[in-house]
Amino acid sequence: MAVGEERAFQSASRLVDDLASGAVSSRELLELHLDRVARFSELNAVVTVDAEGARKAADAADAARAAGAPCGPLHGLPMTVKDVFETAGMLSTGGAPELAHHVPDRDAIAVERLRSAGAVLFGKTNTPVWAGDWQTTNPIFGRTRNACDPERTPGGSSGGSAAALAAGLTPLELGSDIGGSIRVPSHWSGTCGHKPTWGIVPQRGHLPGPPGALAEVDLNVVGPMARTVEDLELALSVLCGPTPEEAPGWRLELPPPRATSLEGLRVGVWIDDPRFAPDPRVAECLRGALGRLAEAGAPVREVRLEVDFEDAVSTYMDLLMPLNTRTMSDPEWEAMRDAAARLPDDGSLALGGLHAHTLSHRDWLRADEDRLRVKRAWLALFDDVDVVVCPVNQVPAIRHDDRDVLERQVRIGGEAHPYLELIAWPAIVTMAGLPATAIPMGRVPEEGVSLPVGAQIVGAPYADRTTLAFARAALDELGGFRPEPAYAAAQPGS
C-alpha cells in the first residue's frame, strides 16, 4: 500500500491540502479507497465501482497538477456518490429494478459540479428502491449494513453513503433528502450531513424523477455528507448555484454565519414533544451534549414551534405522497387510487399517506397554504435564536426489518410505535424548506453495542452557513465522528 491506512479517516479537506502540497497523489488515495471497498465488501455500501475510469481520472489529475494547470477545490480527491445520481457512463439505478441496466450519457448537475471541481468519482453507494425508505436494501444490490453493528441498518435513503463514510471507504459523499434521507443515515451512522435550503443545489439528474426529468421537485434537496463539518462546507461551496437556464438571471450568495463561536450563537433547543417524544436514551444523550455546550459558553434556551405537530406532519404527507406517483405506471397508480377509495382515512399516518397519493390539486393547494403557516412559525423562532437543535428522529439505529413498511414497528421508551412515525422530526423541517446540519452528539449502549445519536441543527431559510458554523463549533467541543475500531485498525491482509 503506497499510503498509510490512517489516511482513510482523514478529512476530505486535509486530503485536498495534502494533494496540493504533493504529500500524496490522487492515484495513491484512489488505490487506498478501492482496496478498502474490496476488503469491506460485507457492508455492501459501495455497490458500483468504475476502477478503470477512476484510475484514468486520477492519473490525469496528477499530471495536470505536475504541469502547473489550474486546480479546482476538489482536485484529485477520490469520492463516491449515492446511486440516485445519474453519472455518465456508469450504472445509475436509483435502487429501482426497472433501472437495473440504466447507464446515462450525461451527469446529474451536482455530479458535473463535483467533477468540474476536480473530484475523481470512483463508485456509487447503495440506496433503497427509488430512495424510499430509512433502511437501505433493494432487489438489485441487496442490503447495506451499519458499520457500528451489521445487524442494524445504517439508515436511508443515503444509507450506502453513510456506511461508506463510517467505514473509511470514501472521504466525501453526495446524498439527497426528502424525508430525512441525509439526516437519518448521519444520525444512525455517526457521520455528518447537510440538508440545504430547498432550491440552492439543482436536482436535475436525480432518480426519482424518471431519467430525463427537468423539474426541481418539491421538498427534495441534494446535499453533501462527510465525517467533518469542514468537508460539508467545502462540498456545499462547489454544489450551490442556479441551473444553467437560471444562471443568466440570478446568482446565489448565501449570507455569512450570524456568528462562528459557541458564545456568539443563540441556541434554541426543542427536544421533547408530547406526540413525537424521542426515546429517553436519545433525549438524555442530546441534553447531556447540549449541557456541555452550555458550559462551554453557548447561550442555550428551550423553544417550541407554535404549531400542532401532528397536523403539520399530516400536511407534509399530503405534500410528499403525490410525488411518489411520478415513477408509477398507469396500472400502479390506478391500483393505488382504488385502494384509497376502499379504505377510509382513519387519521393514521399510514392511511393518510395512502389517500394523499391521489390528492386533488385543490387539496394540495390547501396543504401548501398550511405548509407556509408552519414556515411562518419557524421564522418567528428565528427572531429570537440563530439555530434550533432538535432530534433527527426518536431512536438510534434499528435492526434490519424486511416486513412491509406498514407492518413495521419501532420501540420508543419501551412502547411500540408505527415505523412511519419516524418521519415526524425530519418532516417538520423539510416542509418549510429549511437548512439542517446533522452531526453526531454522543452514543448510547444497546444490546452490547454502542450506537451513535445525532441531532439536526436547523436554521432560517438560506442560513446554511449559520447551521454549519454552529455544527463546527459544537463538534470542536464534543469531538465529532468516531471510527469503529474494526475499520480504523484494519491493515492490508487483515
Give me the active site residues, please: 82, 157, 181
- Residue 373 CB neighbours (<10 A): 13
Q: Which of 85, 120, 89, 121 is nearest to 103 (CA)?
A: 89
Cβ atoms within 10 Å, residue 272: 16
Pairwise CA distance, residues 282 & 180, whole Å:
17
Q: What angle do CA 234, 237, 243 make, to 5 degrees?
A: 145
Strand order of the β-sheet with 120-125 is 46-49, 120-125, 78-82
Find where cell 460539508 sits. Answer: 232
Q: Is 326 helix (H, G, I), strand (E, B) or coil?
A: helix
Q: Quick one: which H or E segment has residue 282?
A: helix 280-295
Radius of gyration of the chain (CA): 21
Could you give the angle at the alpha carbon of 5 between the alpha carbons of 146 and 480, nearest 5°?
Answer: 50
Q: Which helix (H) or strand (E) holds 177?
A: strand 173-177
> What is the DSSP pairing of strand 436-446 with strand 449-458?
antiparallel
Q: Nearest to residue 210, comparing CAs of 299, 96, 52, 288?
A: 96
Q: Which three cell numbers stand for residue 265?
A: 450563537
Report how far residue 354's alpha carbon sits from residue 349's, in angstroms, rounded to the nearest whole number. Answer: 8
Phi and psi at 101, nearest 5°, equal: -120, 20
Task: Identify the CA nearest to 5 among candidates 29, 38, 41, 40.
Answer: 29
Q: How far apart are CA 45 and CA 26, in angstroms?
A: 22
- What cell numbers appear for 354 in the block? 395512502
Which residues are CB-contacts of 13 (< 8 A; sequence separation ≥ 6)? Answer: 228, 230, 231, 234
